[in-house]
Structure 1
Amino acid sequence: MAGVNQDRCPGVLRPHQAADGAMVRVRVPGGQTSGTALAALGRAAERHGRGLLQLTSRAGLQVRGLPSDLPDAFEAAVAAAGFLPSASHERVRNVVASPLTGLHGGLADLRPLVRALDDALQADDALAGLSGRFLFGLDDGRGDVAALEPDLTYRALGPDHGLLVVGADRGRAVALEDAVPALLALARGFDAARAASGVWRVRELPGWVDGLVGFAPVPVPPAPEPPLGAVGAHAVVGVPLGFLSPVQLAAVTAVAGTGAVVVTPWRSLVVGHGADRLAELTAVGLVADPTSPWTAVSACVGAPWCASGRVDTQALVRSVAAEDRRWPRTHVSGCERRCGAPAGPHRDLVAPTRDELLAAAEPRLVVHV
């Protein structure tokens, strides 16, 4: 049965030993952080690791290339930046939220709900052992987070009410003020039900879902295209292959200052009030063009960073990025684990050659007038 092995999801206090050194995963509930906090984490990554911040498909961050015996100074720096408020609950603070909520569009501002859910989750001793793979979602009504199919989701239908959704499509009405206790009650119920089977995710325990009282099928909203470029007063920029370099981080923090930066599940960043300085961000290789190959092609870390990788996925994808091709949504994996693959439909390539990767795209048509 899926999930019966030990939950090995890494955290700051439980690093994963990769081929390039220790890797830690930093939870960023709702993706919501600031230029100040991001800069502090970047300095810690440069001092102790490879200097890169890796964006994850759950709107979190990873730091790689750390010493196998993680320095106390690194842990202290992560905590001082505000990314480690709870040692006991650090790996269960998995919350994704609509990245532009409260900034532009949406039916409700869910930023307070992100903070309330995170605070309540940390205060709940019973949930300290929840799987590190379990995912809470907060969708402000635009359908972006619902498309990720979190285990439990609050989906706004208005500024003060919405749906409490279990899995992809079983829901009931709930007031915004009741959303946090309702989400945590369901999480506790799932955690108790999963104990005998060892599964990690709601979709792996359909009998528990079917037994919930008061829940009925609800429509699944269509997934919108992830935003990119200037959105209202804000800048949304893609991070090629999800690796934010020190130079790129410096540009982001220079534009954001002490203001909001939001990590998105699509390996992009929302830089608050950065629309008028978008050129500074694209000048360092961040992406604002929705037709760029970097919006369609993703990859796992691959060799030599991962011992399981059979190809250098990063170098492979970078070698074709400049080709004049029309790319479908494509994910390149170094092995059959397919780490980092997108949730939606995509072309799945495992350890391809360069020619096989190019074959996944079509040459652009040139029209002579």
Structure 2
Amino acid sequence: MLAAMPPSPSIRPLGSAPPLRDRGDACPGALRLHAAADGLLARVRVPAGDLTVCQATALADAAEQLGDGFLSLTSRGNVELRGLPDGCAGRLAGLLGDAGLLPSARHERIRNILASPLAGLDRHTPADVRWWARRLDALLCASESATALSGRFLFVLDDGRGDVAALGGDVSLVAERGGTGEGTDGGGGTALLRVGDDPAALRIAGPDAPRAALAAAEAFLAAAEASGTGAWRVRELPAEHALTARHVAEALRATGITATHVPDGARTFTATTGATTAYADPSPAAGPTPTSPDSNPAAEPAPPYADSSAPGVVEGADGRHTLSVLAPLGRLSAAQWRLLTATAARHGSGELRLTPWRGVVLPGLPAAEAAGRLAALSAAGLITDPSSPWHRLGACTGRPGCAKSRTDVRADLAQAVAAGAPVPGGSPAPVPGAPVYWSGCERRCGHPHGTWVDVLATADGYQVSVVRPDASPATQETRPQ
């Protein structure tokens, strides 16, 4: 039965006061380990979810040699290692460092860069934003001021299809039609930049996008210091110190980056499928208003982009195919992980991409091999079919890994799936197509963004509600898992 749920400390209602932070965030990293109920936990940042075979192998080695033999994928495309013993920090750092997963010890927790997983891969692909991600990561690791960012501050890079633009970025970039390319200068094209929930955006040249994103983050740090609130994220700034597109435009001018104000750019960032559409500022100060596809590439009709969250085979424009799989509840055994790594090395392009849907993308397979390799991954227990009952299902860690959880959430969910009712009191979900997320306490760690079905463990059992982005509770602030 659906029950109305009151706003929780983890989902902040509209109009409520932002929190006052009197300390730095305690978000775990690869070097700052967290003491969980099942041992130490390490969170390894993987900017844009990009892993080489060597790096993926190092993570499997760490899970087997130091952890509990499993790897957990997070809603930001990162990897968690659990069950680590006391005294393992040095050895873990050595394994990760040798694989190139720790380019800067001082910056490792702030390398939170989420990018469209299928960028450059599907048949009707828009811009490949991976260049942005690599350049932004290098700029972050070279920035002294960036070390002051919270481990929860998030950069989002959307390739124009709208798959990650609405996932709660503090600084978000959406590529407009024309692309960023793969050249050393970004290849051209334009991008829209947005900070937090400001409805306005800034149009900038594609090659300037990484520098602009860093400048926006530095503008946030200045606003946070002026506010005296110790804010960790853009949405936590009080109204009198709110960071807006116009404030960021001033910061960009100081760095020589030209930006055009787009007052209704928020419409670009709320799409979940299909291409984005840019809107020009009609005011004279903003420059000419695009009136045709030639002057505004984003105004062209949207091609049918692949659904980034759906598992299966994705056909590429170059005749190569991509495999997309999901891990049940984001948890993979080292054996499953090694199978993915071996598939990437022997049959693919030698890379793996982690997704915010707790999945893995393997690019570059010959068309003749794609179906067979997908079947092998399915046989290993990975989700390869969109019709799987595990598709769009998620859960927090629950017991025994988390002492704050009221129950073993994952075991309860597994029983519910076996019974054909992943939503207590009824199935399918109350909102068709919406993700369903089970939580062991009110923090709801790792919950989805947008509209989702909230299954919360209480002292009296599970209660179900629907969380929508346009209704209270609206602003979702939990620790990403």
Would you say same fold, with TM above 0.5? Answer: yes
- Tell me the secondary structure at the aligned position of residue 76 of structure 1: helix
Partner residue, 1:80: 98
State the alpha-carbon separation in 1 of the partners of residues 55 and 29 from structure 2: 18
| Cα offset, 1:359, TM superposition | 11
Residue number among 136, 151, 165 corresponding to 1:117 in the alignment: 136
TM-score, length of structure 1 as denominator length? 0.92
- Determine if contact 1:23/1:62 at 8 Å carries over to the other structure: yes
Residue number among 160, 179, 182 corresponding to 2:212 in the alignment: 182
Residue number among 232, 255, 259 corresponding to 2:343 in the alignment: 255
- Determine if contact 1:293/1:327 at 8 Å carries over to the other structure: no
Which whole-Å deviations, capped at 9, do the CAs of 1:316-356 have from their partners, x for residues lacking one? 11122233355422111111111111112112122269985
Which whole-Å deviations, capped at 9, do the CAs of 1:260-312 have from their partners, x for residues lacking one? 11000010110123533101111111011112221122110001111111100
- Determine if contact 1:54/1:244 at 8 Å carries over to the other structure: yes
Is residue 2:317 matched to residue 1:234?
no
| Cα offset, 1:230, TM superposition | 0.4
State the alpha-carbon separation in 1 of the partners of residues 464 and 403 from structure 2: 25
Moved more, 45-54 or 319-328: 319-328
| Cα offset, 1:165, TM superposition | 1.4
Residue number among 167, 176, 181 corresponding to 1:148 in the alignment: 167
One-letter code aligned to 1:317: L
Partner residue, 1:96: 114
Which whole-Å deviations, capped at 9, do the CAs of 1:185-243 have from their partners, x for residues lacking one? 11111012112111111122254224625462311342035232001100100100101
Query: Identity, % of aligned pairs?
Result: 42
Pairing 1:1-369 to 2, within 5 Å after superposition: 1-2=18-19, 4-6=21-23, 7-104=25-122, 105-158=124-177, 159=179, 160-168=189-197, 169-195=199-225, 196-205=228-237, 206=239, 207-210=241-244, 212=247, 213=249, 214=261, 216-218=263-265, 219=267, 220-224=269-273, 225=307, 226-232=309-315, 233-257=321-345, 259-274=350-365, 275-276=370-371, 277-325=373-421, 326-328=427-429, 329-351=435-457, 356=462
Partner residue, 2:301: none
One-letter code aligned to 1:227: A
One-letter code aligned to 1:129: A
State the alpha-carbon separation in 1 of the partners of residues 360 and 129 from structure 2: 18
| Cα offset, 1:36, TM superposition | 2.8
One-letter code aligned to 1:171: A
- Determine if contact 1:155/1:163 at 8 Å carries over to the other structure: yes
Structure 2: unaligned runs, 5 residues or longer: 1-17, 180-188, 250-260, 274-306, 316-320, 422-426, 430-434, 467-481
Judging changes above 3 Å, is the alpha-carbon distance between structure 1 residues 134 and 215 closer, same or farther for their aligned structure 2 residues? farther
The alignment of Structure 1 onto Structure 2 pairs a total of residues equal to: 360
Structure 1: unaligned runs, 5 residues or longer: 361-369
Judging changes above 3 Å, is the alpha-carbon distance between structure 1 residues 357 and 245 closer, same or farther for their aligned structure 2 residues? farther
Q: Which has the larger radius of gyration?
A: 2
One-letter code aligned to 1:56: T
Judging changes above 3 Å, is the alpha-carbon distance between structure 1 residues 270 and 323 closer, same or farther for their aligned structure 2 residues? same
State the alpha-carbon separation in 2 of the partners of residues 311 and 11 from structure 1: 26
State the alpha-carbon separation in 2 of the partners of residues 303 and 134 from structure 1: 27
State the alpha-carbon separation in 2 of the partners of residues 221 and 288 from structure 1: 27
- Tell me the secondary structure at the aligned position of residue 209 of structure 1: coil
| Cα offset, 1:89, TM superposition | 0.4
- Determine if contact 1:303/1:309 at 8 Å carries over to the other structure: yes
Moved more, 53-62 or 321-330: 321-330
Judging changes above 3 Å, is the alpha-carbon distance between structure 1 residues 5 and 342 closer, same or farther for their aligned structure 2 residues? farther
Judging changes above 3 Å, is the alpha-carbon distance between structure 1 residues 5 and 228 closer, same or farther for their aligned structure 2 residues? farther
TM-score, length of structure 2 as denominator length? 0.71
Which whole-Å deviations, capped at 9, do the CAs of 1:77-111 have from their partners, x for residues lacking one? 01112211110100110000000112224421111
Query: CA RMSD of the aligned region, Å?
Result: 2.1
Moved more, 254-263 or 348-357: 348-357
- Tell me the secondary structure at the aligned position of residue 351 of structure 1: strand
Judging changes above 3 Å, is the alpha-carbon distance between structure 1 residues 35 and 318 closer, same or farther for their aligned structure 2 residues? farther
